[in-house]
Structure formats: C-alpha cells, structure tokens
Structure 1
Amino acid sequence: MRIPVPRTLASAIDSHDNGFNAVRLVCALMVVAYHAWQMNPVFSRTDPLTRLMAPAMDTGTLAVGVFFIISGLFVTQSWMRDPQPLRFAARRIARIVPGLFVCLLVTTVLAVVFFSDTGAAGLASGAPWRYIFGSSVLHLLQYNIPPEELRIAGVLGGIDLNGPLWTLYWEGRMYVMVALIGLAAVLPMRVWMRNAAIFLLLAAHLFPSVLSGYVWEVRMWSLFLFGMLLQTVAAHARIGPVHVLCALALLLLNWTRNASLTDSPLTFFGVMLVAGAAALWIGSARTRALQHFRTHDYSFGIYIWHWPVLLMLRAVLPPLDALPLFAVSLAVIVPVAMLSWHFVEAPAIRTVRRLMRERANDRAAAPSN
C-alpha cells in the first residue's frame, strides 16, 4: 500500500484546514495535568508521563516545548506576511493581552475576596491592581521580575497567583526578536530569516554567554528558532508519519548509549524531536474530527486560567488525588476558556483585523499628491 504524500507545511499553515489548534489544545491539557499532579496533596506529585521521561523531561516542559515550535512557525509567518512593526505588535497584543487581562482581573478579585486574610477590603490596597496591570503587560518583558510582583501577601498562602505566565514573558521577548531581525533584513526576507535562525541557533549553543541576557533558556529559545526556521522552508517541507518514525528510530538508536552514560536513555532533544515531528504531522493533517478547532483556539484560555483555578479548588475541596483534581478542574477550566475565546479573545482579534483593513482601505482611497 502506498503511503499518501503529506501536503507541505505552507499549504497547511496558509489555510484554516489544519490541526494546529488541536495540537495546542492537547498541549494545554497536558500542562493542566502536570500541575494537577504537582498540586495534589494526597499521593505522588509526579505524573506518569513525567516518571517515564525523567530526568530528561517532564510533561509540562514537553507541552511548552511544542507550543514554542508552533509559535515560532506562526509568529514568523505573521511577520513575513506583513513586515510592519506596529501592525505586528497590534496582532500580538490582541492575541494575548485582552484574554490575559480578563483572566487576571477575575481570578485576582476572587482570590483576594475569598482566599485572603483581608477579604474584600484587600481590594482597596494597591497590591492586587499592581499585580493585575503588571502581569497584563508582561512586566514590560523585564529580565528579573521582583517576587512581590508575582504574588500578593496573604492571598492563597502567598504563592505565585499564576505561575505558568513565565512562558508568556519569554514568548514576548521572542516576538521582539522576530521583529528586530525582520527590521534589520538586508536580504530577501525568507532568506534573511532563515539565515538569522541558523546563526542564532548556533550562537545559542556554541557561545551561550553572548546572548545569555536575552536567551535565558537555550532549550526553549532553540525550539522557537526551529519553528522560525521551519517557516522559511515551509513551502517545501512535508511532515508525515514516515518522518515521525524516523525521529523515533533516531531516539531508539541512542537508547542504550544514553542509558549507559546518564540516568535515562532519553534526552531532551531526542524527546522533542519525536514530539515535534508528531505535532507537525497532526497539525498539517486534514481531518473532520478536528473541524471545530480549525477556527476556535481554546488553548490559550486553558493555559492562563488553569493555575489559579487549581489553587482555588485545592483550597475549597477536601484533599483530592491528582486524577480527581484534574477532572474537577477541567469541569471549570474548559467552559471558562471557551467563554474567554468566544467573548474576549476572538472579538479582540477580529476588531484589530477590522481596524487594520479599514486603515488600509482609507490609505488606498486617499488621493495621491
């Protein structure tokens, strides 16, 4: 039987007929599961997949790594389609800030009113509002965020109110990196972005101290750059089941060697090679089962809401093991994420797109001198 040739990444990305939203959704749910196991007060705080991959990888890092590959792919596409910094920034802000602000506002008010030493009176202080507005603008992407800006004393035990937001701070820095590279282009954009991605990948691994203040975490930086590199060859790249099997074969070829030298037969990049290939294959596929997710992306809402929801559920419910805590949390998180998409995130994206179209039409209609 002949294996069908997969379509190119470019044709999958350029259409809405792809599975990338579904891949992101699965990754978001993996992060929820990872934290549900960490937060459960009853039994083991390590989920089964993390135990399988430890110490090379954990479930949360795996999911975030796939997020970064896909983000590098689509954010680079956004710049290459329209290399204008203000419009690029407007699209990125519209995708992140409205949904994030509503999440921070609602969860912080609930946390202060019901899970603090002061109750509703705590809202009269400046701390909750500094936290809400500072986190909404990603703390202006500063490198060192003071711990008091990530939590509020006496609220939910004084721990970080939304720990997973650290990935958004670093993703925002990568958006800036894409724009800076694009603005500095001296070659055709696709060639320039490809060369820049290769150069930065090599620099990050061979000379990590050169970019240490900006890169911070070489692994996630590398995965975003890999997505960026993929975008520049997307017109020719085809990822299918054969490529996933090849990635798995490479992982297995190093199995005994790694097992003899380290505590695990797995490596970070070995696992990410297989996971990345599988994510790109599924993302490129056409399937009716994923039709709803072609135009509805609930992953961001699940990601930003899940941590405070888990904290509050853990505070009000009797002690639960990880799986019941995960199930109960999904009953809250998924509907809230769907509401966030349909009533906050998607309308914000549509509004920015409409304003951009209207401005472009106005410029086109303006008489030339």
Structure 2
Amino acid sequence: MTSARPAGGASGANDTADDGSVVDRARPADRAWLAHAVRLIEADLQRSADTHLLRFPMPSGLAGAGIDLYLKDESTHVTGSLKHRLARSLFLYALCNGALTERTTVIESSSGSTAVSEAYFARMIGLPFVAVMPAGTSPEKVALIQAQGGRCHLVDDPAAIYAESRRLAAECGGHYMDQFTYAERATDWRGNNNIAESIFAQLALERHPIPDWVVVGAGTGGTSATIGRYVRYRGYPTRLCVADPEGSAFFPGWRDGDPTRTGTPSRIEGIGRPRVEPSFIGPVVDRMQRVPDAASVGMMRELESILGRRVGPSTGTSMWACFGLIGEMRDAGVGGSIVTLLCDSGDRYAETYFDDGWVAAQGWDLAPYRAAVREFIAIGAWTGSAG
C-alpha cells in the first residue's frame, strides 16, 4: 500500500500515488496564508470595543409607565454600520471553508453597507473586492466602498444582482460571498460576540434586563435569525419583531408561510427585499409589521432633533415599530424594555433621504408621520398608523 506524502513535504496541488489510490491537494503555502488572514481579522476584532447601548429619552408622559427603550448603536463600527459584524463572519466562514485563497477576487451582491464592510476586510487580507449593486445606490455609499479599496459594478435591474454576481465570479475565478444565503449560517448564534449576546450582556444591570421585545429590520435576514435563535437557546421570553418596508417580500412571505412570495425593490436602503432571502428564518420571528416608507423617513428626520445626530432610514423603520409597541405596553399597563438597532449614520444619506427635493421626487408626504412622532415625544401618546 502506498502512503500519502508526509506532512511538510512538497506542495504539489495534485500529488497522486502510483496506483491512483491517494490524491493529495495539500498546499502548505495556502494554509499559511489562511492562518495569517484569519489572524488579521481576529486581531481587528481584538482591537475593537463593543458598540454602545443607548437609552432613548422617553417622553415625560410615560414617566410612570416603567417602559425603557434602547438603541444598539452599530454605526460606531470602523466601517460605520451593523454590516461590519456580518462581513467579519462571512469572511471567516469563507476562509475556513476553503473558498478564499490569496489569489481570489471577492464578489458580493450589496445595496451598500455590506459592501463597505466587506471591502474593508478584503483589503485587510489583500484580496480584490467587487460589489454588485443596483444603479440607484446612494452616491455616498458608492464613495465609501471605493474609499475602502472596493470596485462597484452597477446594474440597472436590482433583481439581476444575484445572477450578475455569480457571472462575475465565474468569469474571474473569484468567490461570490452571497450574504443573502450565508448570513444566517456564517454567524454563530449561540455566542462568539454576536449582536444578541452583546445586547443581553449590556442590559444586565438595567431595571428590565430581559427585554420584552427586540425590533430589527431584515435585509439578508441574518440579524433576525441570530437574535431569534439566541433567545430560544438561552430560554428567554423575549419576542422578536421584524419591521419591513413597503413592497418587501418578507412580510407577505412570513404572513402566508410562503417563502416563494415576491415583492418589489425596497426604497428603504439596507432592508426589505424583492424575494424572501434564504437567510430569513421565519419561525423565529414572533411579529412582523409593515411600515410605510414615508413613516420610516419621517421618523429618521425627527430622530435627528431627539438624538442630536442623524440616523439612516432603516433605523426609522424599526423605531416606528418600537413606538407602536410602547403604545401597546402602555395601554396594557405593562412595563418592560424594548431594544432596537441604530444601524448606520444618516450622514450617508445627505443627498437622498435628508434632501427635500429627493424625498419629494419619491412622492412621500412626511408631514403626518412626523406629526405623530412629535406628539409621542410631547405627551407620550402614539397615534401612528401601523401601515
């Protein structure tokens, strides 16, 4: 019997025994590069502090209600958004599954924030990065991707980004990261610095350390999958609410139990999809709420004066759902806490969602939604529409 080549020997990619019974694909040089790449990514995490959990200033009209609202500020990651966590997990997953070598071009379908973060990690380990994205992606996000060393490949039809990403990867011998498929499996939902573990640790000394609700949007579906699984794994009674924009396929797909449902491209950047993505795990979601696009944008505009800073539109979507939950808890005489995410900074949207002309061109009337937010802040009464 012929034995395999000893460890540490020559590194031919296809070393075969004389009788054809052994094929050795070991490449020590590749394994050395892999170990170095993983170390670089882990060192980056070691240098990073956790993101803050901010207390929202509740209206005086709710002073005796015993309800607290928190925002997990993901905008403070080095790449500026919640997607930094996902990008790190996707790179580690791809590296340790053997999908990336030092000669691989990384391809991703992204409307912006994931691409910014993936470009950062690709440059960190010395790989070229191409983001395939809808042509309508905000100029600010395109600039951010390019600033991280990435290249943007724009397509007119948002539904074509998946096929175009696969085509480009095949053409150049690259790897399509496919965040929409792998988000839920690349992140370890049991722990390992995932966002759910971080939220519960930071709430430990609060008066309601186990939140009644966590509210998130869904883009890949990976964040809701992580949080929903984590609370079940830990045995917490916390419920998960997913706030979804107009036209997105997630809401009707979840409501009807039909993952084949389709929708329209979302106008709220970063969340909502025209199809139910593979990473969206419906059974771990306790409630879904469709939020009007004008409500999301009206909320994000009002939050600027409340928080003293600008937030992105997906934060507006989730906060609209949070205010509704607070209203329900107040009416039921139930105290407790709610947590949502401050996904990214509004500075990325200065020429879009914060531009009055651009908003008018979308046909959005923000006035009634902004009025509802102002009334809530003034007296603690929520009269906003559920959408």
TM-score by length of 1: 0.26
Q: Which has the higher contact order (CA 8 A, sep 6+)?
A: 1
- Structure 1 or 2: more helix by fraction: 1
- Structure 1 or 2: more strand by fraction: 2
